[in-house]
Amino acid sequence: ASTGQSHEMPTIFCHLSTISWMLLHPYIVFNGPDCPQIKRGKDILHWSPPLLLVQHSQELLTVFGFYWHVAPGEAEAELSCLQSCGFIDAMVTTYNDALLFGATCVLCSIHGDEDVEVYSTEAIENSAALEWGDLLLIMLMSSADSDVSTTGCCWCDTDVACWLVDYGLGRTLLEAAVSLQFIEFMEFITKWHDNVCEVLRTDPQHFLGCRYHKLAHIVKEEHFKFPDPAILAMYLSPLTSWSDDGHPPITCVTSCQPNLTTVSQSVECWCKPNKSNTKDK
């Protein structure tokens, strides 16, 4: 990584070579300097990819004729804005919670490179009857505000979070978050938090199937600041190129023919075998 000629470069080169044969226009967005320090319950403050590796990856993208830019914040949020504006048709990422940024179609790689999971807002709304607020509640209960980074487990099971949405708690939370002023919202969230605990304790409409007294105690005593307004803002008002009346970074998504001379030079530089590992025949 200190030279930028790490073992990752041949892998990246091969991936880009494969993409260049596909009937599509790829557009790549990198995380920016103001990317959130905590993502999905994990502290990423002390981790970032090697600078030279990123620089050489960007150089390779240009060599292959692919366009890219660095987002001011989180790449998934930037791509979601590009998708909502009609610049891209689908987003490829390892995180399906990009739907919470407003993405309408997300492709996640599974089991290597051959299989993908496709998440679309249309399918989720029609098949699972889940709206944006419902997804927000599920994420808050089972991921972003969890103890994954310290204990390795979530304090709320995903199934319980999914059953909890039937009480409409996610939709009321979303409506309040986007419509109320901060002071009004903080007053609302106190009552909302108590309501979540009461529903977990009593399950008045039997949507949960049983009463979750222990979970209600955890929410009440250990996660009394749930949900964190900062995490809500990260998803509902993320930093993007459009923030503060900004302009989109592109006017259209396209690509051009690769620079074959530079491609061949890259092959020489990154893909040739290490001389110290070869044997004379």
- pLDDT given at position 247: 84
- pLDDT given at position 147: 43
For the chain, 281 residues long, give each residue's pLDDT as a single digit of tens.
334 456 788 888 888 989 999 989 999 999 998 888 766 555 444 456 778 888 889 999 999 999 999 999 999 999 999 999 999 999 998 877 788 998 999 998 776 667 888 999 889 888 888 899 999 999 888 764 444 443 334 678 888 999 999 999 999 999 999 999 999 999 999 999 999 999 999 999 999 999 999 999 988 888 878 888 888 888 899 999 999 888 888 888 888 888 888 878 777 776 555 554 445 44
- pLDDT given at position 150: 39
Closest to 178 measured CA to CA, from 142, 232, 139, 135: 232
d(CA 163, CA 193): 17
d(CA 52, CA 145): 33
- pLDDT given at position 201: 96
Give the angle subtended at the CA of 169 by the CAs of 147 and 75, to the nearest 5°: 55
The CATH number that domain 8-126+239-273 falls under is: 3.40.50.1010
Closest to 228 measured CA to CA, from 146, 132, 131, 135: 146
**Position 125: which residue type?**
E
8 Å CB contact between 170 and 133: yes
Q: For residue 258, how far is the Cα from the chain centroid?
A: 29
- pLDDT given at position 126: 87
d(CA 97, CA 106): 9
- pLDDT given at position 158: 85
pTM of the model: 0.81
In which residue ranges of the chain is CATH 3.40.50.1010 found?
Answer: 8-126+239-273
- pLDDT given at position 146: 42
